[in-house]
Chain A
Amino acid sequence: SAVISQKPSRDICQRGTSLTIQCQVDSQVTMMFWYRQQPGQSLTLIATANQGSEATYESGFVIDKFPISRPNLTFSTLTVSNMSPEDSSIYLCSVRPSDTYEQYFGPGTRLTVT
């Protein structure tokens, strides 16, 4: 299994500012993923964070808006840049350990942009 922690757990931010969300895993994993869950909605994949290479973004998400770092095999950050109220969501980190088919999700970061 994998235990994932995220910081902060929640934040209220002003329009136009940026927030960096941290994701820490208790074991080394090759692939980490960032998902967004808008209020009352399902989850959508933002990007895949690979250690040692650029993150891969899904359609509708761009690096300038959601820069990602992956400095090692247990840690990643997602920055939400130049925020607007439409960015108010829960952001979740997810991992797939190589020795299992399970996919684990962190507790999420609840972001409110005013």
Chain B
Amino acid sequence: ELKVEQNPLFLSMQEGKNYTIYCNYSTTSDRLYWYRQDPGKSLESLFVLLSNGAVKQEGRLMASLDTKARLSTLHITAAVHDLSATYFCAVDWALGKLTFGTGTRLTIIP
């Protein structure tokens, strides 16, 4: 059974600081997703990582994938209040069947 662990579960950051969210998974997969969820909303796709060493960046967010270590990271640079949300990683184990991490609730403090 595929297990996906995220840490930390909760993260309070000051504006302007950098931090990283970690996503570890237990079995081989070549496809990993990062989503953002605002309170009461659905999921917004941030990144799709398709191969070992993949790195994608959008604004203040950068995601990477190491399939050998079964690890993905979501790095936040110079955090701003608008980034406050819950972030999920999800591992594709069979053509669209995703196992989600526990989520990281990020709060940016002015």
List of A residues within 8 angstroms of B98 by Cβ: 33, 35, 43, 45, 94, 103
Q: In the complex, which residues of chain A have a beta carbon less than 8 angstroms from the beta carbon of B90?
A: 43, 103
Q: Is chain B's interface secondary structure helix, strand, loop, or mixed overall? A: strand
Binds A, one of B40-48, B56-64, B67-75: B40-48
Judge whether B50 and A101 touch: CB under 8 Å: yes
**B4 to chain A: closest residue by CB:** A42
Partner of A103, one of B50, B96, B102: B96
**Scoring A residues 84 to 114 as 1 if CB is less than 8 Å from chain B, else 0, what string do you get?**
0000000010111000011111111000000
**CB distance B96 to A42 under 8 Å?**
no
**In the complex, what's the smallest C-beta–C-beta distance from A1 to chain B, in angstroms?**
10
Chain A contact residues, CB within 8 Å of chain B: 31, 33, 35, 42-45, 48, 58, 92, 94-96, 101-108
What residues of A have a CB within 8 angstroms of the CB of B33 in the complex?
103
Is B96 in contact with A33, judged by CB distance below 8 angstroms? yes
**Candidates A31, A43, A101; contact of B100 at CB < 8 Å:** A43
A35 and B43 alpha carbons, distance in the complex (Å): 12
Which residue on chain A has the smallest CB distance to residue B30?
A101
B97 near A48: Cβ-Cβ < 8 Å: yes
Check: B88 CB closer than 8 A to any chain A CB. yes
10 closest A-B pairs by CB:
A96-B96, A105-B43, A42-B100, A43-B100, A107-B42, A108-B42, A101-B48, A31-B96, A105-B42, A42-B103
Contact (A101, B31) CB under 8 Å given A42-B103, A43-B100, A94-B96: yes
- Asked if A92 contacts B43 (CB within 8 A), the reply is yes
Choose one: B42, B43, B95; the contact of A96 (CB below 8 Å).
Answer: B95
Q: Are B96 and A92 in contact (CB under 8 A)?
A: no
